[in-house]
Structure 1
Amino acid sequence: MTIIDNRTSHRVSFDLINDKNDFSNLSSNPPPNSPRYKSIGNTHMHTRASTKVDQMAQPNLNETSSSNFHIAMFPWFAIGHAIPFLHLSNELAARGHKISFLLPKKAQIQIQHLNLHPQLIAFCSVTVPHIEGLPEGTETASDIPTSSTALLATAMDRTRQQIEGFLVSCGANDRKIDMIFYDFAHWVPEITRGLGIKCINYGVLCAATTAMAIVPARNVPKDRPVTEEDLRDPPPGYPSSTVVMLPGREVQSLMFITMPYGDGITFYERLMTSKKGCDALSTCSSVTQSKGNRFSPRLGFTNKESSQLLTKVCKNLTI
């Protein structure tokens, strides 16, 4: 697994791979003695060892160099998540990479004006199934109150066959997806593992927030409800010893992580599964580098060995 450290909020500075030959060396399960870490400028990367489907429209993309990538984007169905994914897509497209952006139609309409490279970034519509308890036509988090977003997560999970069908059909039509960026869809690695597609967990939150709540050291209890006392202090190993969550609203704001967020899964389990299963994930080193470095070893990464993985797709890319 690899961590790509992003720049500041919704902005990224990182080197990826220069060509597909370099990218093919990335493995979710490298040999025990393989190199695992490399720092490139401000970038830090860490590595760790048949049902009928709905066919989504294929992207109509101009031909580009064979060394360029075809990249899929699949953000959580919320505008605040889709926009950072589109900003990243714009920068990748500026360097010649093709993007297939998987998103419900309503969300596409809301952000399509931010697409700076329509000849390379194609929106592909995802049909959001109706879930009992959600208003008819619900497609994004902005359509519903926050208290109903767990049901939207269930709806997103039920698009799995659509996403898998799209990825498979792209490969069958010589438009194979090389990598997919995702955040909340924890099942993406299960699909991509058998298709030879690399999956990158692209989080839009800074590492300080992630390291406070979504880490194994948090030890969220499974046999009882979580209490304010469980969440009051930072988890063991958190870089700052002076951080304390204030009783009341601050602590209560974290309690939702133990609540159901989709069928048979909590918010905490969803994000942990997403991060543990991916080939690469992102944090924000320029703001909270120590938190990102602290986060990686607790998922089984190492910070000390050199790595040649994910070397350069974009030189000194700054969004």
Structure 2
Amino acid sequence: MEHTEKNHLHIAMFPWLAYGHLMPFLEVSKFLAQQGHRISFISTPKNLHRLPTSSLSSLIKLIELPMPAVDGLPQSAESTADIPINKVPYLKKAYDKLELPLTHCLEHSDVDWIVHDFASHWLPRVATRLGINSVYFTIVNATSMAFFGPPSELLAGQRQRPEDFTVVPEWIDFPDFNVAFKLHEMVSHWDSMDDEVSDFRRLAGVIQGCDFVATRTCPEFDGDSLSLLPILYGKPVVPVGMLPPFLQEDQSEDDTWLVLREWLDKRREKSVVYIALGTEVTLSQEAMHELARGIEKSGLCFIWVLGNRQVAQGPDIIPVGFETRVRDRGLVWRGWAPQLRVLGHSSIGGFLTHCGWSSVIEALGFGRVLILFSGASSDQGLITRLMHNKRVGLEIPRDDRDGSFSSEAVAESIRQVMVDREGEPLRANAWAMKEVFGNLDLNNRYLDEFTQFLETWPTSMS
């Protein structure tokens, strides 16, 4: 294909149908557009409408593909946020049905590259046939990717049961490395897999078929795993940095933030625990009550954000009388909250998190120490162990088999991380991580290198 002046490219982006995937793909798109490349950002209508598009470059074009109907998937569902975890396999079946309309879209375009996600195992084959280069962009870190191993292991390896993922794999021999899943986390993940095409087969397909792999991390944090991945995959693996979000000074302040800021302004520096378990984590009422009792027993100030999915479980999801008893030091907020603004406030000292990679990046970008409570979805268990091992946080002890925990363990973990003397090294380590996770110049350098990879890679031949 012939490119315009300065080798400007036409790059298609095709993320998985989850907000936590769409946003990193959009951040990479924005950077590529700043370098003069044209972007076709392809997804279903509802997902595109969810994106913050007010300040997008004119070089980014949003392309809608109608959501295919699949028996078992609610008619209005277009993302993981719309369904419980046991319905995710139907979403993957619908995603696979996008192969034909996406192929038609690509056939009638001048796309040079397609940047895709883990679920579209069929896409590298389509791209190769059409003479389009492809890169698999994994929104997780290199350590999580290394844990899952090479394509040969993913397709026909020794790990066939959830129990097999609770030990460190043989190809990882880093010193003092004990990052693995707990059994309850893998059992939960099993529920989200399509019986016909497992996540392992999907992952193997995109790794084998793409030209190279890009991952949301950097060598300053993830060096050992970044060195291992090209050996496991037999192809280049390029870090794009952490894609840290940043607060725009001129950004308008909505009413939600004004209320939260007023409450935070009255608290001492680093005295408040921010608690948020993401938009898609669902705990039982029993677990939510135990968590609430632990938060109360800690005796510390806190803001607890209940996402829409948790609010939808009903008013009894929080123990009766809890908010009254803690009203002098705690605030329970229902619905969406501006997490980045909250984490950036000086009164926030720590973050009790479900360990989604984006949330961890946001917190460490401000140097906030972590209280680790795995959401038991995707690689959140691996991130929990990794952050615990890196000593930037402390994992709340839980039963390996069923994920249960005690309010005493919650309270002790919060206090140790936030105020106890033995937590001082954790707080210092997390604060130091600002220089990696919050360093825009450092992270943009990796995006620059990723862009150069795209610009200098040989043109694919169909």
Q: TM-score, normalised by structure 2?
A: 0.47
1:208–1:114 CA distance, 2 compared to 1 (3 A): farther
Tell me the distance in 2 between the aligned counterparts of 1:70 and 1:193: 16
* Cα distance, 1:96 vs structure 2: 0.8
Instruction: Provide the secondary structure at the position in 1 that maps to 2:208.
Output: helix
What corresponds to 1:98 in structure 2? 38
The reply to whether residue 190 of structure 1 matches residue 125 of structure 2 is: yes
Q: CA deviation at 1:254?
A: 3.1
String of CA shifts for 1:150-170, please: whole Å, max 9, x gaps.
110110001100010000011
Q: Return the match for 1:180 from 104, 114, 119.
A: 114
Cα 1:217–1:197 shift into 2, 3 Å = closer
Looking at CA atoms only, which structure, 1 or 2, has the larger radius of gyration? 2
Structure 1 CA distance, aligned partners of 2:155 and 2:51? 36
1:157 aligns with 2:91: no
Is 1:268 aligned to residue 268 of structure 2? no
Matched, 1:201 2:141: no
* Superimposed CA distance per residue, residues 197-242 of structure 1 (whole angstroms, 9 cap, x where no aligned partner): 00000000001111112434756767995141x2222111214243
SS at 1:99 equivalent: strand
* CA offsets 1:107-129 (integer angstroms, 9 cap, x no match): 11111436521x11010001111
Would the aligned equivalents of 1:70 and 1:177 in 2 still touch at CA under 8 Å? yes
For the residues of structure 1 that align with 2:236 and 2:7, how far apart are their CA atoms?
A: 30
Question: Which of 78, 81, 95 matches 1:142?
Answer: 81
Distance of 2:201 and 2:60 partners within structure 1: 32
- Identify the residue that residue 280 of structure 2 maps to in structure 1: none
Deviation per CA, 1:115-147, whole angstroms, max 9, x where unpaired? Answer: 521x11010001111111111121111111122
Aligned to 1:169: 108
Q: Distance in 1 between matches of 2:36 and 2:213?
A: 22
Aligned residue for 2:183? 251
Counterpart check, 1:235 vs 2:174? no
Distance 1:141 1:192, change over 3 A: same
Report the Cα offset of residue 293 of structure 1: 1.8
Deviation at 1:259, TM superposition (A): 6.6
- SS of 2:25's partner is helix
SS at match of 1:109: helix
Whether contact under 8 Å (1:150, 1:260) holds in the other structure is yes
Structure having the higher helix fraction is: 2
1:290 aligns with one of 221, 224, 249: 224
Report the CA distance shift for 1:161/1:96 in structure 2 as closer, same or farther (over 3 A).
Answer: same
Q: Deviations over 1:227-263 (max 9, x none)?
A: 41x22221112142433357xx723323566677346
The one-letter code sitting in structure 2 at the alignment partner of 1:240 is F
Give the Å deviation of 1:265: 1.2
Q: Structure 1 residues 224, 291: closer, same or farther in 2, change over 3 A?
A: closer
Cα 1:241/1:20, change in 2 over 3 Å: farther
Structure 2 residues not aligned, in runs of 5+ = 238-449, 457-462
Secondary structure of 2:138's match? coil
Deviation at 1:277, TM superposition (A): 0.9
Scaled by the length of structure 1, what TM-score is found?
A: 0.67
Q: How many residues align?
A: 241
Q: How far, CA to CA, are the matches of 1:85 and 1:302 in structure 2? A: 19
